[in-house]
Amino acid sequence: MSIEQLPTYFLSHGGGPWSYVEEPRRKNYVNLERFLVELRPEMRSPVRAVLIISGHWEERGFAISSAAQPGMVFDYSGFPDYLYHIRYAAPGSPEIAARVLRLLAAGGMAARLDGERGYDHGTFSLMKVLAPDENVPIVQLSIDVSMDPALHVQVGRLLAPLRREGVLIIGSGFSYHNFAIRDARAAPISQHFDAWLQHVLVQTEPAERTERLIRWEDAPYARDAHAREEHLIPLMVAVGAAEDEPGACVYHETAFLQFVTASSFRFGSPRTGAAM
């Protein structure tokens, strides 16, 4: 089936199960939530499923969630008890999972189906706002423990055909992620790294963009912004799947959780009629 080509996204997904938290904590996410509400039109036809590459799922090789009704993965700590009993009930899609497996296998990638994997907060924190009716099928794809940027760009290239098959590709991570630096020191670090991201993703020609992303450790404050890069690697997949297309910043704030500059990006043209 060939239909309108969908864009891809790299979305900064916020902290833990934020989209389920009650006030007063919820106010910390007002800008992120507003952006995701505005993005909801992307969940409508011709979207028939969402593929999320989550920075919270690491494997040797690549694993693809294939359960028809995935459960939940509560991969966070320090939250109130009720946040360990929440449920995001969107269906999975064994059909789309099998398609992802075929695309990766055809490109020589080590990949397997995982019928047990549930939704981690890199998925349900976003989707609770993006698709509150819980009716859009979701498949998750792990990242490889190597954290090899070039490998994940290539995975994106292999998955690009999904964009014409009604599958919306979302890399879920965060533009800044370092638990050790979350106070005022994070402000200049995240600002400088975010400025680099903006230049590379939005202002740089696609071919050069890929090369610079693969060398992301050369960026200002790279290892301060991402002491470990699992929250950045999903970006590589999103870019690889729309490698020859322009990037745009679609969410940006300079005081996320008081000190952090945070951004999200779209690659490719927005859908006709989508509210962006």
Three-state SS across 60-97?
CCEEEECCCCCCECCCCCCCCHHHHCCCCCCCCCHHHH
What's residue 272's pLDDT? 57
Could you tell me if residue 16 is left (phi over 0), alpha (psi between -120 and 50 degrees) or otherwise beta? left
Mean pLDDT of the chain: 95
Dist. CA 46–CA 167, nearest whole Å: 8
Closest to 197 (Cα-Cα) out of 171, 163, 160: 171
Reported residue count of the chain is 276
- Which residues of the chain, if any, have pLDDT below 50? 1-2, 273, 275-276
Q: Is residue 273 part of a domain?
A: no
Phi, psi of 143, deg, nearest 5: -100, 160
The pLDDT assigned to 248 comes to: 97
pLDDT of residue 276: 36
Query: Across-strand partners of 144?
Result: 59
Domain count, the chain: 1
Residues 142 and 58 sit within 8 Å (Cβ to Cβ):
yes
Cα–Cα distance for residue pair 169/140, rounded to 1 Å: 10
Answer whether 182's CB lies under 8 Å from 175's CB.
Answer: no
For residue 141, being part of any structural domain is answered with yes
Residue with tokens 């239909």: 3
Supply the range of the domain harboring residue 54.
Answer: 8-267
What global pTM score does this model have?
0.96
| Residue 2 counted as domain residue | no
pLDDT of residue 43: 87
In a domain, residue 234? The reply is: yes
Look at residue 77 and tell me if it is in a domain: yes
7 closest CA partner among 54, 53, 45, 42: 42
Q: Is residue 3 part of a domain?
A: no
In a domain, residue 276? The reply is no
Of 35, 51, 44, nearest in space to 4 by CA:
44
Residues 6 or more apart in contact with residue 139 via CB below 8 angstroms: 49, 50, 51, 52, 64, 65, 66, 92, 93, 96, 97, 100
Q: Is the dihedral of CA 198, 213, 232, 113 positive or negative?
A: positive
Instruction: Flag whether 132 is in a domain.
Output: yes
Amino acid 3: pLDDT: 63
Query: pLDDT digits over 255-264, tens only?
Result: 999 999 999 9
Tokens 């940006």 — which residue? 252
What is the number of other CB atoms lying within 10 angstroms of the CB of residue 184? Answer: 9
Cα–Cα distance between 40 and 37 in angstroms, integer?
A: 5
Query: What CATH number has the domain bearing residue 170?
Result: 3.40.830.10
Of all residues in the chain, the percent with pLDDT exceeding 70 is: 97
- How many CB atoms lie under 10 A from the CB of residue 198? 18
